[in-house]
Amino acid sequence: MSTVCRDCRTGVYHCHGTVIRHDLGRTECTENDCDGPEISVHGFVIDCDAVGCRCADAPNGEAGSPHRVSA
């Protein structure tokens, strides 16, 4: 048994981050080096309220995001 990600081993394009879906359809990934938050290349997708985001409460939906993971 290997501890290396199966997709990494086989060379499949993917991301280890989590996609966060915001109220107005905007998405973002928790990985800084992610090429883009396409849902198809991510194993995990959550709604922003699951991480305490209040963008649905903002009048224009343009709240800044604290969800990026930094090194």
Is 42 inside any structural domain? yes
Give pLDDT, residue 71. Answer: 42
With a cut of 90, say whether residue 56 has pLDDT above it: no
What is the model's pLDDT at position 70? 45
Domain count, the chain: 1
Cα separation, 15 vs 38, whole angstroms: 9
Q: Is the pLDDT of residue 11 over 90?
A: yes
Long-range contacts of 30-38 (CB under 8 A, 24+ apart): 30/67, 30/68, 30/69, 31/69, 32/68, 32/69, 32/70, 32/71
Burial class of residue 22, CB neighbours in 10 A (0-12, 13-18, 19+): buried
Given this model, what pLDDT does residue 58 score? 67
**Domain span holding position 37:** 6-57
On whether residue 70 sits in a domain, the answer given is no
What pLDDT digit, counting tens, does each position of 20-55 carry?
Answer: 999 888 899 999 999 887 888 999 999 999 999 888
